[in-house]
């Protein structure tokens, strides 16, 4: 099972993850990444992987 984690200390608030995978990521009140689903499946997992690749701060990790 794939697990997603985020490093909020790295996050710069660009929101690319939210735009790419809104069902998996959101932004908190300060504008930083908030993880909605730690273990997405199907299309949501694919979207989370894409979000990892477009994150300018490399704050998203996909664990196999």
Contact 20, 43 (CB under 8 A): no
- What total number of domains does the chain contain? 1
The domain of 39 spans 3-63
Residue 52's closest CA among 14, 13, 12, 16? Answer: 16
Contact 35, 3 (CB under 8 A): no
pLDDT score at 28 = 97
pLDDT score at 17 = 98
What does the block give as tokens for 12? Answer: 């710069």
pLDDT score at 7 = 98
pLDDT score at 42 = 98
Q: In this structure, is the dihedral angle defined by the CA atoms of residues 12, 24, 6 and 33, taken in order, positive or negative?
A: positive
pLDDT tens per residue, range 11-51: 999 999 999 999 999 999 999 999 999 999 999 999 999 99
Instruction: State mean pLDDT over 55-64.
Output: 97
pLDDT score at 8 = 96
Q: State the CATH number of the domain containing residue 41.
A: 3.30.70.20
């Amino acid at each position: 099972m794939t697990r997603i984690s985020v490093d909020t200390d790295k996050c710069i608030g660009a929101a690319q993850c939210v735009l790419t995978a809104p069902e998996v990521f959101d932004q908190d009140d300060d504008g930083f990444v908030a993880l909605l689903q730690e273990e997405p499946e199907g299309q949501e997992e694919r979207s989370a992987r894409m979000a990892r690749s477009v994150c300018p701060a490399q704050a998203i990790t996909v664990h196999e």
